[in-house]
Chain A
Amino acid sequence: MTVALRQRAVDWGPPLAVFALGILAWQFLVVAFDVQEFLLPKPTEIAQTLWDERSSLWHAGIYTFKEALGGFALGSSMAILVALVFAAFRSLGTAFMPFAVAANAVPIIAFAPIMNNWFGLLNPFSKMAIAAVLCFFPVLITMLRGLTSVDPRAIELMRSYAAGQGSTFRRVRIPASLPHLFAGLKIASVLSMIGAIVGEYFGGPTTALGVTILNASAYTNFSLAWAGIVLASAFGILFYGAVALAERLTTSWDPSRRAFHAE
């Protein structure tokens, strides 16, 4: 147990030290070179604003996170369903996948103003829709790869047990796809926060985090804008961490994870 704790300290020590040094350097450089606040506020000022405005910022953060979460859930579940259909009916997959891959290369965020028009500026669903579309393609592509790149002999074994397609999916293809799926979900968790906030930059209720950041910088309240950015980052990192934790809990059996951690 103590060995595990010590190992954890060894793993976490260096990044934490880099983080602390980075913040210190930031503070020092801003003071030393007398950087104007509109260019870059001091970390202590941002922290002060975060504390002073904690109530309104927190509510804005929760509002925007709910949009991101809703979009993530919607986009990812649709992507998982479509991936299952494409894997089950290969000809469908071959016909549609080139378009999915092409769509993944499109800057989908450019559609944000259109979504605002479709569903209404103040309707949170307009931001969920952007986040959902952003999440859809990476999850579809990774999940489909996971479902179809199973060891062919694992499928032959199921055939030798006279297992049907449904059983082969449930017992082999779906569990084997989980590590791939989580790679997609981790990308999607980050994209969903970006989608929600950038969607709000094109208009939304004043209770939203993106609108708070936009208005604060328009009214030269830069420390509030930066406080909003810090909060958005915190939500993004926590969301990513939650998905990574779910991955650890469900795919601890994955040998490729072991190999990576053993290094």
Chain B
Amino acid sequence: MTDRLAVSIKGVSKHFKAGVTALSGIDLDVRPREFVSLIGPSGCGKSTLLRIIGDLINPSEGVVEVNGKPAPQARRDHDYGIVFQEAVLYDWRTVAKNIALPLELLRWSRERRTRCVNEMLRLVDLEGFEDHHPWQLSGGMQQRVAIARALSFDPALLLMDEPFGALDEMTRERLNMELLRIWEASGSTIVFVTHSIPEAVFLSTRVVVMSPRPGQIADIVEIDLPYPRTADTREEPRFFELVTGVRERLAGRGAQVEPELAEDVP
């Protein structure tokens, strides 16, 4: 059971009512402790695929298993945490109570919740902000609360849908490093949706390149940069080679770098 897959996707397709095929014939395995990014142009179905893994929507065809269980069962077992592009914090709850919300639903005792919340605040570097309300925090801080909330109940799998897409570049790069630190500390598996090529390369063990109409997996790129990755990683020649490699695969195998896709970096 030790080599049980974190996520196993077999033959998944998704058709929407309007006759749109969002996903077609997706096969993907994610091993435990992997950091897998899904990247592709708008409309390639990467967010749809993430929602199917998280049992927020059902696939039209195919099977998704999380930790060897069907996705709905994994959801009921609290096997994964979700982070969206916006923090989606509950405005009426303080930072501490936002982080504690999943724990309340798990019926943890008050002391256990408090202990966990304090640990999470330390992990995302927000100690001293526990009694603040969301409106008192910056966008980057709100997103860190959302990450803390998703990690609070120690889910084996973290699903992230463009979590840093709404942030400025500097905040984004800092949170990228924090996320890697958190990932290494927590030992969880991450499936990460992004439209930024450098972000995908910097974070991931593997980058899944998707193509649109219908959404399919075009290629998978192994990222062989060693961990821990630092600000210097972004300067290494190998980093640029991999960024170029992913960009070429996004444009179609072997094609030249297209300026539009190069502009994709915010």
Contacts and interface: CB of A to CB of B under 8 A. Distances in A.
A binds B: yes
B56 interface: yes
A253 to B, nearest CB: 5
Contacts of A167: 105
A163 interface: yes
A159 B92 contact: no
Contacts of B78: 161-162
A211 interface: no
Contacts of A157: 82, 84, 88
Interface string A135-161: 000000000000000010110110111
Given A161-B105, A255-B135, A151 B92 contact: no
A71 B197 CA distance: 62
Contacts of A258: 135
28 contacts: A151-B88, A153-B84, A154-B88, A154-B90, A156-B82, A157-B84, A157-B88, A160-B54, A160-B56, A160-B75, A160-B80, A160-B81, A161-B78, A161-B101, A161-B105, A162-B76, A167-B105, A171-B101, A171-B104, A172-B90, A176-B90, A178-B92, A253-B93, A253-B133, A253-B134, A255-B91, A255-B134, A255-B135
A182 to B, nearest CB: 13
The SS class assigned to the A binding surface is: helix
Interface string B73-110: 00111101110101010111100000001101100000
Contacts of B76: 162
A175 interface: yes
A222 B46 CA distance: 74
A155 B56 CA distance: 10
A108 B46 CA distance: 53
Contacts of A37: none
Given A159-B75, A253-B133, A255-B134, A175 B80 contact: no
Contacts of B90: 154, 171-172, 175-176
B88 to A, nearest CB: 5
Contacts of A178: 92
Nearest to B161: A153
A254 B91 CA distance: 6
Contacts of A172: 90
Nearest to A175: B92
A156 B56 contact: yes
A238 B104 CA distance: 39
Interface string A244-263: 00000001011100100000
A119 to B, nearest CB: 40
Given A162-B105, A167-B105, A258-B135, A153 B86 contact: yes
Contacts of B77: 162
A203 to B, nearest CB: 46
B135 A162 contact: no
B75 A162 contact: yes
Given A253-B135, A254-B91, A163 B80 contact: no
Given A151-B88, A161-B101, A253-B135, 6 more contacts: A153-B84, A157-B82, A160-B56, A160-B75, A161-B105, A255-B135
A178 to B, nearest CB: 7
Given A171-B101, A255-B134, A160 B92 contact: no
Nearest to B78: A162
Contacts of B75: 159-160, 162
Contacts of A254: 91-92
A191 B93 CA distance: 32
B88 A176 contact: no
The 9 A-B pairs of least Cβ separation, nearest first, read A255-B135, A175-B92, A161-B102, A253-B92, A153-B88, A253-B133, A162-B76, A160-B82, A161-B105
B92 A176 contact: yes
A251 B133 CA distance: 11
A159 B80 CA distance: 11
Contacts of A154: 88, 90
